[in-house]
């Protein structure tokens, strides 16, 4: 998404990573614990599009022939998000629109597809908002990888879901990796985040 105003330009260093909002990762326990999840993710995307925050969609997809499966899954009955199956499908409320980047991954950590880092560097992104499924797995591991690669990171807590206990523990246990925000705080927190970025060395 190209910045077209001073307002939009204020978000230039920022991007949202929306991770794995796909059928196979949604469980009945999540449905009970996070009944407003669809509305929250839809609201997050609406906010980002209104504010001109770049949105990058990360999505799992694996070949049926096991050629790109993570090794551990070769010893299990299957893997989520087999290409062409209903479980791979993205929920309607989390669909990409024109000009939003979609990156396919075959690992928990989205950065293991080098296309993500290349895209972020090409667009001068330095602060990442992270949301999606599942909090204790792909959200955590992608956020941790981002932090170790020199990005500042905030997890959008009310736009993530998991087993409820794992969700809470993940958000509570890793303040040394990422900050937390919620949809209604994002705009208000921009100036503070920008001040943190201003203290970093210019790469």
pLDDT, tens only, 20-49: 999 999 999 999 999 999 999 999 999 999
Average pLDDT over residues 88-117: 98
Distance CA 157, CA 160 (A): 6
pLDDT for 3 equals 41
Residue 84 lies in a domain: yes
Residue 4 domain flag: no
Element (H, E) at 153: strand 152-161
Q: What whole-number distance in Å separates Cα of residue 63 and Cα of residue 104? A: 12
Provide the pLDDT for residue 9: 64
**In a domain? residue 2:** no
The stretch 72-101 carries a mean pLDDT of 97
What domain count does the chain have? Answer: 1
Give the residue numbers spanning the domain of 39: 11-198
pLDDT band at 77 (very low <50, low <70, confident <90, very high): confident
In a domain, 203, yes or no: no
Alpha-carbon distance 56 to 199, whole Å? 25
- Residue 1, domain member (yes or no): no
Return the C-alpha torsion angle 15, 109, 121, 172, nearest 10. 50
Residue 70's SS3 state is: coil
Q: Answer whether residue 81 shows pLDDT above 60.
A: yes
Q: Determine the average pLDDT of the residues in 153-178.
A: 98
In a domain, 63, yes or no: yes
**Tell me, what's the pLDDT at 202?**
78
Is the predicted pLDDT of residue 1 greater than 70, yes or no?
Answer: no
For residues 102 and 5, the model is more confident at 102
Confidence bin at 8 (pLDDT 50/70/90): low
Give the pLDDT score at 46: 98
Determine what percent of the chain is predicted with pLDDT higher than 90: 94
Residue 101: pLDDT band (50, 70, 90) is very high
Q: How confident is the model at residue 7 (pLDDT cuts 50, 70, 90)?
A: low
Considering the domain boundaries, does residue 31 fall inside one? yes
Q: Which residues pair with 187 in a beta bridge?
A: none
Sheet of strand 152-161, all strands in order from the earlier edge strand to the far edge: 101-105, 54-60, 14-19, 127-133, 152-161, 179-181
* Tokens 């893997």 belong to residue: 79
> Which pLDDT belongs to residue 150?
96
Closest C-alpha among 55, 57, 59, 58 to residue 15: 55
pLDDT band for 201, please (50, 70, 90 cuts).
confident
Residue 60 belongs to domain with CATH number: 3.40.50.850
Confirm whether 5 is domain-assigned.
no
Residue 58 pairs in a beta bridge with 19, 103
Average pLDDT over residues 13-18: 98
């Amino acid at each position: 998404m190209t910045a077209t105003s001073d307002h939009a330009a204020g978000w230039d260093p920022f991007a949202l990573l929306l991770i794995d909002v796909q059928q196979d990762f949604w469980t009945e326990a999540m449905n009970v614990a996070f009944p407003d999840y669809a509305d929250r993710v839809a609201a997050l995307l609406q906010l980002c599009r209104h504010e001109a925050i770049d949105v990058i969609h990360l999505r799992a997809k694996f070949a049926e022939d096991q050629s790109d499966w993570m090794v551990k899954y070769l010893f299990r009955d299957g893997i989520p998000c087999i290409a062409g199956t209903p479980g791979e499908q993205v929920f309607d409320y989390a669909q990409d629109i024109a000009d939003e980047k979609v990156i396919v991954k075959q690992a928990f950590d989205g950065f293991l597809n080098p296309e993500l880092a290349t895209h972020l560097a090409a667009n001068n992104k330095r602060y990442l908002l992270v949301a999606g499924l599942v909090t204790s797995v792909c959200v955590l591991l992608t956020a941790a990888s981002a932090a170790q690669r020199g990005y500042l990171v905030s997890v959008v807590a009310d736009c993530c879901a998991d087993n409820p206990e794992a969700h809470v523990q993940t958000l509570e246990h890793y303040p040394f990796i990422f900050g937390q925000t919620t949809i209604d705080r994002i705009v208000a927190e921009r100036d503070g985040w920008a001040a943190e970025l201003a203290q970093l060395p210019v790469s």
